[in-house]
Structure 1
Amino acid sequence: MADFTVVPDRTALINVDMQNCFVEGYPSSAPDGPATLARVNGLAEVCRAAGILVVHTSHVLRRDGSNVGVLGEINPLVLGMLTEGSESAALHPDLVIDDRDVLLEKPRHGAFQSTDLDLILHARGVDTVIISGFATSVCCETTAREAVARDFRVLFLSDGTATADMPGATAAELQKATLATLGFLFAEVLTVAELTRKIAG
């Protein structure tokens, strides 16, 4: 199992898709969405105090549907749910955003695909990323795998990520399977409390 050292000025928290539709009140919302958001808010404050960059991503699509592509063929509901400017696609009002944070919109599941995240991180000398947010087995996992493919060290939060039930699997089953795979091949998996202690040194 990996045991990465956290060097604050070379680390970033990638807070994935803390949007209304994933946090609470929608079929796509995680059962423990608000509690996860609260834990991540606390972690983000710890990160800022330590000098760790905080990035908030949002999965949004153009109003005219011009960048939906194959996503719309796989799940036609994404255009309405993730349309730019919609209430469902907005960041949750309880998410704490600081002036020092970076806001990043992405058109696909992963935060690196078709965005300038790689440029932002490399410009700041970042070589380690912390992954939090929604959904564990979709956008969080995709972002973690993209990061490893770009040679970033990945710390993935077991209780700072969450997901909803999907056809054929419960949220708990998806969470367990995703964490097992990532911890074996792609990341150091740890709790928010464990990461907080690691940041404190």
Structure 2
Amino acid sequence: MDSIPSGEGLIARMIEGDESAFTSIYRQYHPALYTYLLRICKIPSLAEDLVHDVFLKVWEIRHRINPALPFTGYLYRIARNHAFKTLKKLAYDEVLQEKVLEHLQFQGNGPEQMVNEKEYNRLFQEALGRLTPQRLHVFRLCRQEGKSYDEAAAILGISRNAVKKHMVLSMRAIHNYIYRQGLVITLLYLAQKIF
């Protein structure tokens, strides 16, 4: 029985459409490629998905592979580019964002830790600018001027409960804005580390 050749012979067989050669290549490169992608994205399930995507891409474009050139460099270049595109996509994909947020929270290294004080202040001001005029007024009275809910209610001519509700919604909106924007900054930071 013929043994499966390694190196150029195995690559050449894959290029010709030999699925057993492709399977052998997958098994050979999977562990190291998974480790490489895990260092980039930090999420085991995402790294595994990226590995599968990369090998699927290799299979789809196998006819363009030159078996005389180092396959490892080719494979890692595809992996790096795919990981970078995925990280950029994360900024707009809420399901993927949740995976990243869960992972970063689990490690105690959330976006807040990766955003410096100057950037945090900028994001805070942007978040304030997104509040409704009434919420912004309540927030400034209670948080920035130190007024009690009762005092703010008297100044604004609304109930204490209305003030409390505005404060809760303001704090939630500010936190969510900073957290999401911090996540985007984190993703861009991770993407830059690829190169």
TM class by shorter chain equals: under 0.3
TM-score calculated relative to the size of structure 1: 0.23
User: Between Structure 1 and Structure 2, which shows a larger proportion of strand residues?
Assistant: 1
User: Between Structure 1 and Structure 2, which shows a larger proportion of helix residues?
Assistant: 2
